[in-house]
Structure 1
Amino acid sequence: MDILLQAIRPTLIFPILLLAALFLLFGSYWRWILSPHNLHDRIRRQSGEVLPSPAKPRFSFAGRCHPLERRDGLLILLLTLVYAATAFFQLGSFTNPQSFHNFTETQTVEVEFSQPFQLTRLMYYPGLGTGDYNVEISADGSHWSTLWARENEEGTVTGYYWADAEGYEPSYAMPQHYADLFKWLEITPENTLEVRFLRITAKSTKSPIELGELALYDTSGNLVCPDQPGEASALFDEGDTVPESPSWYNSTYFDEIYHARTAYEHIRGIYPYEISHPPLGKLILGIGIRLFGMTPFGWRFMGTLFGVLMLPLLYAFLKNLFGKTPVAFCGTALFAFDFMHLTQTRIATIDTYGVFFILAMYYFMYRYLTIPAGTPFRKGAPWLFLSGLFWGIGAASKWTVIYGGVGLALLYFLGLWFKLRDWPKVEAGETPPVFRNLWLIQTLAFSVLCFVVIPACIYTLSYWPYAAAKGDTSLGNLIHEMWKNQEYMLTYHQGVHDTHPYSSRWYQWIVDGRPILYYLDYTSVPGSKSAFASFSNPVVCWDGLLAVVSLIVHCIRRRCGKALFIVVAYFSQLAPWFFIGRTTFEYHYFPSILFLCFALAYVYNDLFEMGLPWMRKSVYALTGTAVALYAAFYPVLIGLMVPRWYTSNLLQWLPSWPI
């Protein structure tokens, strides 16, 4: 009984209330929207009159793209500015070390301090390269002590200490491994010794091995620097960048250790360490590094900017689809204030670029599909070109865009079929319409250019940094590097089966069942914690899933082209994960969450068309609830330090949520 009571968390009341409200709303929606197909039969039975059955509608994407109005521009600006303020707030440090000392193999650097001091703690900031350092200190320059690592039976380092170096091989106890790069690391030895001289020797496993800054602290907590560092000047020249303690704000975390590093390697012309994804996403990420330096703000800037830019495009898309300003506003607000949208765009990985280009390629495809049958080829060509262009750019950024490309192709061929089916017939005495066969040949030929040739060129050219790093940018080597990497990526992703405490499967994503924890610190401030995880706003996730189910029904009963468009787009991003056996995480659901917001906008449009005041109010209430939850969960989406009672008593709705 006690175990059962402990399992029943007080915070369960929040998801129960939200789910009750959602099912109440959708119960009413399904009653009033899905049931009216029986209205014709009811009228016929009541009147006794035999009425002809209504004609069964045909699928079609053709229709009006509703334009933006002045008030739409104001609402777009409002949403974008509010979200941008929350997204860029404390994004990352501007002042990490920019100069690095490049150690050669077994090179020893020695420095002398003007006054001896007791060394109690040291921090260091690794740059490129991996290996280890042997750190030695001395009070007189004759007798040296070496930093040693204390390990448990499993080989895990549990602490550090100074010990006599005489008669021992170098310990190389200070690590610089692949997961340590561009993050502040801290070592606090168990014993304290007097220091007048310090020397450090590197042992490299992957050159170059660079160290950005070395910070030494005395018993008073003061930073101590040598007066004349000599050849080691790069290790002590940016003391103003040393933080009080390492954190996500001043260091890489999660997959930033791969993608931020790779972007920097591209800038420096070094063959990249991370080659498990196409290069273009890292090249875009590198623009922020070029603008703001190799700093956390620099490597996170472009992803956050693309997250902001998604909102105007999404708003225009929803307004084109439904023509209602409240629907476009609420649908965009749901995505703007979705938890995963914030968390994933603030981390320096490539998922953001994939989602942006998925949104863009579907937008331009929709603009093409809505053009009426019989429209001259030249009027649809720009939309096809733009859709293919963004498909190519996206595919060169991350393979998840290729999944979306399958849905895009399905919609494209369905659209062609609908246009040929609905092609205007020539009446006697009328001017013939555009010649259908010529139009079809032009369209297919142009589509091959837009969706095959141009994307293939973009994809291949994105490997220019690989070829340049090898010193051969010829077309043959460029194609060779590209093809070699495709083989590696396919093999790599098939082999990712390592267990992970926060891994999850697609059926957990769709119900927010297992978020992935990116960062956790509960020791810096007693009674408080800093943490953030990647998961979706419950309103978007749970409400959106009910909306997708509704749209599937609409596809069958209404034969609605808009519903079909959204359902195909949603499942093109989710369905491939049904069959992928590699280790997966909830952030893989990010592209699908975009289309949950489309599905919700569809339902909201229906609720507005029902004309019932309480239905309209429910749309605003749900949107407001999503915004309120965004504000409540905001600290655990960006890593603010908050009291532990706040997260445990208010935010941990489900036991599987690691917040």
Structure 2
Amino acid sequence: MGSRNSYKLFTILLIIMTIGYSIVALYQLGSRVAPETFWRPLQAEETITIDFGEIKKFHSIRYFGGIGDGQYLFELSTDNHSWQEKLNLNFHGIFDIYVWKDAVLDGEGRFVRITVLQPGGRMYEIGFLGPDGKEIIPIQNIIQSTTPAHLEGNAQRIADETNTIPELPSFLNGMYFDEIYFARTAFEHLHRMEPYDSVQPFFAKILLSLGIATFGMNPFGWRIVGTLFGIAMIPLIYYFGLQLFKKPFYAFIGAFLLTFDFMHFSHSRIATIEVYMVFFILCSYYCMLLFYQRSFYEYPLKKLLIPLFLSGLFYGCASASKLNGIYSGGGLAFIFLTTLLRNYRVHLKIKREYQDFNNQDFTSNSSNSVMVFPHYTKRIILWCLLFFIVIPLTVYALSFIPLLLVPNRGHSFHDLVQYQINMYNYHRNLKATHGYSSPWWQWPLLIRPIWMYQGQGLPEGKIASISSMGNPAI
């Protein structure tokens, strides 16, 4: 009775802790508001003239760009005849995407003329800030030098969602760190565009795109699915520990430590791919643990194969999420071989007993038991060729379906093979470092946590920063 009450108590505590973590993880995850329409000029020297109705003083512009490089010249005029060059804006379609940025536009005038120097970039929204750098100056009219040949060429779109312009650009209303690669690629998968990130398989980004498809291309949309995976990891760790230790107290300790781990928290709330890989690795090891704990002499073959099948499936999902997941197969193989060795020792013991007592008390039963290990082992190994080679490779290959769906490019099986070669060469030859990196041995010592975000434009005396590190208390 006491044991049953203990299970019930820790299950209730787990539910409370998971709900508490969910509230914190979902709090200020990101805005659900972001510009949706964009202007994409296709011709150089195209101009638009923005009329503010009367002479205004300008401090800066606040703009939100998307995929594609662009360069724009901003000029001011009081009379729509004489112009002063004020800003040459180079928009980088990789590092400047889906984030609000400011650029100085110091001067006064009634008209602003924007000349396209490099076409092709997507400009979602532009806000013109008054002398205090906060007030959005209302636009009266936008005059385009050419008649747009397509909807995306309509310059009116840069000022049709002014309600989305934030008072302060931050991680809450834009991308930060590696979101510029992974969330962008998830968006491209949805819209059958050529994917930017080609150095990792696509499965995690397909999962990430589900949030974008549901909530839109905004910070909440591209972060929510990873956050839900991070939340699900807490009960997963609990039941992993329960299966491992058979005591709910120790299982709860494991879930408690994960709940308050900083790295788990920060990586669950950013639209990158690590959280998916780790989740599926945990699932694959949990299933392999079930296989490890089941004796060949107590379970039918079917109940031994089911956890192996699931382990292989989750292993394929982990590997198709990020290439690092492939390495988890080494641990799975070790546990698998250890399980075979343990059952082989039982087999030898039964075989000796059978030889010692042959034609005596339990000849028939012993004879059947002696045959269990070779009978099971042959079949298990054959099935594992399917579970841990064919199925993972199939999952991995299927993750590249978005590439085959890109129109006009004509991607083929040869392209898929070339993708794998390119990924291998990229990671093999990668020598790039950055100011936030640290050697592997420093990670558990928390000497140099990875720095993901630094707030800009904050009031004096305030800072905003996001780092990924373990919890020193843990």
Query: Same fold per TM (> 0.5)?
Result: yes
1:575 is matched with: none
Give per-residue Cα distances to partners, 1:432-473, cap 9 Å, x unaligned. 236432312211111111111111111111111112115478
Q: Secondary structure at the match of 2:122?
A: strand
CA contact (8 A) 1:215 1:236 kept: yes
Alignment partner for residue 122 of structure 2, among 210, 223, 239?
210
Q: Secondary structure at the match of 2:418?
A: helix
1:279 is matched with: 202
Residues 505-654 of structure 1 correspond to what in structure 2 (within 5 A)?
505-521=439-455, 524-540=458-474
CA contact (8 A) 1:306 1:352 kept: yes
Q: Does the C-alpha gap of structure 1 residues 267 and 367 become closer, same or farther in structure 2, counting only changes over 3 Å?
A: same
Q: Secondary structure at the match of 2:79?
A: coil
Q: Secondary structure at the match of 1:245?
A: coil
Give per-residue Cα distances to partners, 1:40-83, cap 9 Å, x unaligned. xxxxxxxxxxxxxxxxxxxxxxxxxx999433431221121111
2:386 is matched with: 449
C-alpha deviation, 1:288, in angstroms? 0.9
C-alpha deviation, 1:137, in angstroms? 2.7
2:40 is matched with: 102
Separation of aligned partners in 1, 2:183 and 2:280: 20
Is 1:502–2:418 an aligned residue pair?
no
Separation of aligned partners in 2, 1:402 and 1:289: 27
Q: Does the C-alpha gap of structure 1 residues 237 and 96 become closer, same or farther in structure 2, counting only changes over 3 Å?
A: same
Residues 72-111 of structure 1 correspond to what in structure 2 (within 5 A)?
72-106=10-44, 107-111=46-50
Q: Does the C-alpha gap of structure 1 residues 449 and 478 become closer, same or farther in structure 2, counting only changes over 3 Å?
A: farther
**What is the aligned-residue RMSD (CA, Å)?**
2.2
1:130 is matched with: 69
C-alpha deviation, 1:538, in angstroms? 1.7
Separation of aligned partners in 2, 1:95 and 1:429: 73
Give per-residue Cα distances to partners, 1:346-389, cap 9 Å, x unaligned. 11100000110110000000001110132321111110111000
**Letter in structure 2 aligned against 1:422:** V
In structure 1, runs of 5+ residues without a counterpart are 1-65, 149-171, 541-659
1:572 is matched with: none
Separation of aligned partners in 2, 1:133 and 1:472: 29
**Letter in structure 2 aligned against 1:193:** E
Give per-residue Cα distances to partners, 1:14-52, cap 9 Å, x unaligned. xxxxxxxxxxxxxxxxxxxxxxxxxxxxxxxxxxxxxxx
In structure 2, runs of 5+ residues without a counterpart are 144-153, 355-361
C-alpha deviation, 1:483, in angstroms? 1.7
Q: Secondary structure at the match of 1:272?
A: coil
Give per-residue Cα distances to partners, 1:303-344, cap 9 Å, x unaligned. 111000001111011011112222111111001110101011
**Letter in structure 2 aligned against 1:341:** H
C-alpha deviation, 1:292, in angstroms? 1.1
CA contact (8 A) 1:113 1:226 kept: yes
Give per-residue Cα distances to partners, 1:69-125, cap 9 Å, x unaligned. 433431221121111111111111111111111221313333333333222221000
CA contact (8 A) 1:269 1:469 kept: yes
Give per-residue Cα distances to partners, 1:596-642, cap 9 Å, x unaligned. xxxxxxxxxxxxxxxxxxxxxxxxxxxxxxxxxxxxxxxxxxxxxxx
Q: Secondary structure at the match of 1:528?
A: coil
Separation of aligned partners in 2, 1:478 and 1:416: 41
1:467 is matched with: 404
1:178 is matched with: 94
Separation of aligned partners in 1, 2:186 and 2:276: 14
**Letter in structure 2 aligned against 1:250:** N
Q: Secondary structure at the match of 2:415?
A: helix
Alignment partner for residue 492 of structure 1, among 426, 441, 446?
426
Q: Give the aligned length.
A: 445
Alignment partner for residue 222 of structure 1, among 117, 132, 135?
135
Is 1:354–2:277 an aligned residue pair?
yes
CA contact (8 A) 2:230 2:265 kept: yes
2:308 is matched with: 384
1:198 is matched with: 113
Separation of aligned partners in 1, 2:174 and 2:470: 25
Separation of aligned partners in 2, 1:490 and 1:451: 21
Q: Does the C-alpha gap of structure 1 residues 523 and 135 become closer, same or farther in structure 2, counting only changes over 3 Å?
A: closer
2:9 is matched with: 71
CA contact (8 A) 1:467 1:481 kept: no
CA contact (8 A) 1:95 1:295 kept: yes
Q: Secondary structure at the match of 1:188?
A: strand
Is 1:417–2:341 an aligned residue pair?
yes
Separation of aligned partners in 2, 1:202 and 1:288: 35
Separation of aligned partners in 2, 1:68 and 1:251: 45
CA contact (8 A) 1:123 1:184 kept: yes
Give per-residue Cα distances to partners, 1:406-442, cap 9 Å, x unaligned. 1111211221222222235454242723643231221
Alignment partner for residue 458 of structure 1, among 364, 372, 395?
395
Give TM-score scaled by structure 2 length: 0.89
Q: Does the C-alpha gap of structure 1 residues 522 and 253 become closer, same or farther in structure 2, counting only changes over 3 Å?
A: closer
Q: Does the C-alpha gap of structure 1 residues 479 and 455 become closer, same or farther in structure 2, counting only changes over 3 Å?
A: farther
Identity among equivalent pairs (%): 33
Separation of aligned partners in 2, 1:481 and 1:68: 56
C-alpha deviation, 1:202, in angstroms? 4.9
**Letter in structure 2 aligned against 1:222:** E
